[in-house]
Amino acid sequence: MKRKIKKAVMWVLVLIASYFIIGLIIHHWILPTKTPDYNNYFKVGQSFTSALEGLTQTIVKVDDERLTTDIAIEAKSNGPVIHTHENFDETFIVKRGTLSMQYGTEIKKISAGQSITIPKNTPHKPFNETDSIVLVTSEMPLDFAYCLSQIYPFWDENASNTKPPKILFQLSVFGSKFDSYPTVDAPPKPVLKALTFLLAPTARLIGYKNYNEAYRPK
């Protein structure tokens, strides 16, 4: 009886391992997900909004590698969670109001006409403590901007989409393009990278998409 159980367990493990190996090869190398041509996807004047983070990004410039947006941060908005970017520095130029920025362990105040640059791998969080909209200009890599424009409406559709396992499945289909790593209430970056890499085939199989037409900037 014990031999039969051991054999059954072994076969289950073999099947699981085979599923992951074959699925990962197909997803990451044979049939990777496709994204739209960014020059057709992003149009100057269009916007993408996050009700969750209390902000709207309006496109002001598109070039071969980066997207520039004017970001309107609503009054008393908490903004995004504290996070880091692995591959790019991020500069915020304040055009109106006073921006609050968690920068590492500090809170900095940046007024209209001033700017702040966040070096890569620095925990940060832009937010608005005032009673008026704060307007800032920022730029980011096109890949990352694309992911933001697709994940904002995904989050806003249902609060459960911001929590595991749904958020992990959605992030997994973006792959390495979503260069943002929460530093609070989230797995460490290496663990998060490994999880999203391994979950990608399953996410695609159960219907998660790299591109949703309904989420395009408008």
Place of tokens 């219907």: 207
Q: How far apart are CA 189 and CA 78, in angstroms?
A: 23
User: Is the residue at 117 inside a domain?
Assistant: yes
Do residues 113 and 88 share a domain? yes
Do residues 129 and 181 share a domain? no
pLDDT in tens, the chain (218 residues): 667 676 666 766 666 767 677 777 877 788 788 889 998 999 999 999 999 999 999 999 999 899 999 999 999 999 999 999 999 999 999 999 999 999 999 999 999 999 999 999 999 999 999 999 999 999 999 999 999 999 999 999 999 999 999 999 999 999 999 999 999 988 999 999 999 999 999 999 999 999 999 999 99
pTM of this structure? 0.92
Concatenating the DSSP letter of every residue in 155-190 gives: HHH-GGGGSTTHHHHHHHHHGGG---EESSSS--HH
User: Is the residue at 116 inside a domain?
Assistant: yes
Do residues 80 and 26 share a domain? no
Do residues 57 and 106 share a domain? yes
User: Is the residue at 37 inside a domain?
Assistant: no
Domain final position from 142, 157, 172:
142
**Range list of β-strands (E), 44-177:** 47-50, 55-62, 66-73, 83-84, 90-96, 98-103, 106-111, 115-118, 124-127, 134-141
Structural domain total, the chain = 3
Do residues 12 and 87 share a domain? no
Domain hosting residue 210, numbered range: 144-215
